[in-house]
Amino acid sequence: MKKLKFAGLLLAAMTMIVACSKDNDDENKEEPASLSVEYNGVTWESTTVTAVYTSANGSTSISASRNSPSDQVAVSFSITTGTEEITEPGEGAMFSISTPGLGTYTTLFVNGVVGELTITKYDMEKKLVSGTFHCRAKNFDYDVVEFTNGQFTNVPVTIY
């Protein structure tokens, strides 16, 4: 009878260890790096995305592309938590997109606040950044396009 109780306890302990170890594995998995934004009924999604944090000025620049170097999005900001306005150059976050069919749109030609960027996670230990954004941007002819539902997830950050 003692052997049966011991075997039962051993089986229960092993089941709990395996079950707990499975839960931990699922919790540690990160979503793959991505960046996407919507405009004119189109969703632009990156195939590659990276970020650089420059410690000298505390800024982060994200570069995302798909298909070719002429199909890209850039986002720059100076916060690691919270929300920053997308506004005129030197005053807040910046957004730029260059893609075939749409052309080039940027917040470099704007006056005042045209959008918002929110950092949802900036993990310096794991070197990952995630967040959301939306804004209005202009092309070289000053035409305006609204960019919505922008998000970047688990973008790897290189620190300089």
Residue 74: name the closest of 93, 54, 101, 55 by CA: 93
What does the alpha-carbon distance between residue 153 and residue 130 come to, in Å, rounded to a whole number?
4
Specify whether 63 is located in the same domain as 119: yes
What pLDDT score does 73 carry?
98
Specify whether 17 is located in the same domain as 61: no
Specify whether 16 is located in the same domain as 65: no
What pLDDT score does 46 carry?
98
Residues present in the chain in total: 160
Residue-by-residue pLDDT tens, the chain, 160 positions: 443 333 333 333 333 333 444 444 445 577 999 999 999 999 999 999 999 999 999 999 999 999 888 999 999 999 999 999 999 888 999 999 999 999 999 999 898 999 999 999 999 999 999 999 999 999 999 999 999 999 999 999 999 9
What does the alpha-carbon distance between residue 21 and residue 114 come to, in Å, rounded to a whole number?
47
Specify whether 132 is located in the same domain as 70: yes
What pLDDT score does 89 carry?
86
Specify whether 61 is located in the same domain as 119: yes
What pLDDT score does 90 carry?
83
What pLDDT score does 33 carry?
98
Specify whether 81 is located in the same domain as 26: no
What pLDDT score does 48 carry?
97
Count how many domains the chain has.
2
What pLDDT score does 134 carry?
99
Residue 119: name the closest of 89, 148, 154 by CA: 154
Specify whether 88 is located in the same domain as 45: yes
What pLDDT score does 67 carry?
87
Specify whether 9 is located in the same domain as 61: no
Could you list the residue range(s) of the whole structural domain that residue 11 is in?
1-30
What pLDDT score does 100 carry?
94
